[in-house]
Amino acid sequence: MSTTAKELQQTVASLIAPGKGILAADESGGTIEKRFSAVNVASTQESRRDYRELLFSTPGLNEFISGVILYDETIKQQNTTGVPLPDLLKAQGMLAGIKVDSGTVPLAGFPEEKMTEGLDGLAKRLTEYKQLGARFAKWRAVLTIANGIPTHGGIANNAYALARYAAICQDIGLVPIVEPEVLMDGDHTIETCAAVTEQVLNVVFHALNKQRVVLEYMILKPNMVVPGVQCTVQASPQQIADATLRCLRRTVPGAVPGITFLSGGQTDAAATENLNAMNVLGIKNPLPWQVSFSYGRALQSSAIKSWHGEASNKEAAQQALYLRARLNSAAVRGQYSA
């Protein structure tokens, strides 16, 4: 086995350690500004650093969190005592990851659809991130359900970029998190979400295969199969778990070691309950992959509200994050109870 393969295997094994999940703290400048303004905090380089430092230094977080996804600015920042944030994570027993796509643009020729960019110069950027301490990476494709979309072309273009990204990551020794997100926005039913998610995952795995991505050394980060937020018929955790696992069993090869869901706008409690329902089913009928979480909002929203930009609220915010991480870890084991 080559050194790179060994390195990828070790990283993947650490990321999907039993009962553990991933914290997504890779909000871009615009997104973190939105999250901060909801709690009346100005987004500055310093406030962003203070907030991320608070999250990462939560005592005991590594009992439940194996890795943290960072944004370009964050991976280059130091804490108040001059320790680079990736080193802080390492000292806390967590791996550093990095968001490497550069966001979405309208997909020319495909009205209302989007394309994720960032392949140009990617190998060079990944090499730099690795030197800064990153061990894994993330790229997010975004698919919207609406009249006539997503089209096959929209899905295929995004799948191609995801697959090229994943191949480049593996070449450099970073484990790629492959994130095709079918958004919850809209009034579509759970059945429509199931059909679209199944189509998207089929196209994505076909593209990964064509680009020679080693499935054993990647992690899939999909949406759960849920009704659109404006759909009049909502679904129970049991229905969501059934629909999601049916879709994943049909599309995701057993060679993929881990599936870590995004929360996508679900409430904290719903994201935990739905994950738990899947792992409860997995106890009865074993799943071929570890089924865990890579949540952003569903891990951070109570912490950010407790923090409110005040250093004096640091402990309360850390306790809020610790609690969500602990409950989601219980859900990974199918042992969560509300």
Given the structure tokens 């994050």, which residue do they identify? 321
Reply yes or no on whether 179 is catalytic: yes
If the CB atoms of residues 167 and 298 are measured against ligand 13P, the closer one turns out to be 298
Name which of residues 123 to 152 contact ligand 13P (CB under 6 A).
140
Report DSSP state, residue 222.
P
Q: Minimum distance from CB of 179 to ligand 13P (Å)?
A: 6
The first and second tokens of residue 25, run together, are 């703290």
For ligand 13P, what does the binding mask look like between residues 243 and 262, x meaning CB under 6 A? -------------------x
Residues 6 or more apart in contact with residue 180 via CB below 8 angstroms? 140, 141, 143, 158, 159, 162, 200, 201, 204, 222
Distances (CA, A) of 78 to 21, 87, 290: 24, 9, 33
Q: Which of 263, 274, 279, 290 binds ligand 13P (CB under 6 A)?
A: 263
For ligand 13P, what does the binding mask look like between residues 185 and 224, x meaning CB under 6 A? ----------------------------------------
If the CB atoms of residues 4 and 28 are measured against ligand 13P, the closer one turns out to be 28
Q: Select which of 7, 27, 179, 198 is catalytic.
A: 179
Backbone angles phi, psi at 140, to 5 degrees: -115, 125
If the CB atoms of residues 163 and 298 are measured against ligand 13P, the closer one turns out to be 298
Reply yes or no on whether 221 is catalytic: yes
If the CB atoms of residues 116 and 306 are measured against ligand 13P, the closer one turns out to be 116
Q: Minimum distance from CB of 296 to ligand 13P (Å)?
A: 3
CB-count burial class (<10 Å; 0-12, 13-18, 19+) for 110: middle
141: enclosing H helix or E strand: strand 134-143
Name which of residues 69 to 88 contact ligand 13P (CB under 6 A).
none
**By CB under 6 A, residue 174 contacts ligand 13P:** no
Let me know: does 250 contact 198? Beta carbons within 8 Å.
yes
**Best CA proximity match to 249, nearest among 199, 288, 193:** 288
If the CB atoms of residues 7 and 179 are measured against ligand 13P, the closer one turns out to be 179
Any alpha helices (H) in 173-217, and if so which ranges? Answer: 190-210
Q: Minimum distance from CB of 69 to ligand 13P (Å)?
A: 6
Name which of residues 268 to 327 contact ligand 13P (CB under 6 A).
295-298
Residue 206 DSSP SS3: helix
Q: Select which of 27, 198, 221, 273 is catalytic.
A: 221
Distances (CA, A) of 234 to 83, 150, 229, 280, 315: 46, 22, 8, 21, 36
- Interface contacts to ligand 13P, rule CB under 6 A: 24, 140, 179, 262-264, 295-298
Catalytically active residues, by annotation? 179, 221
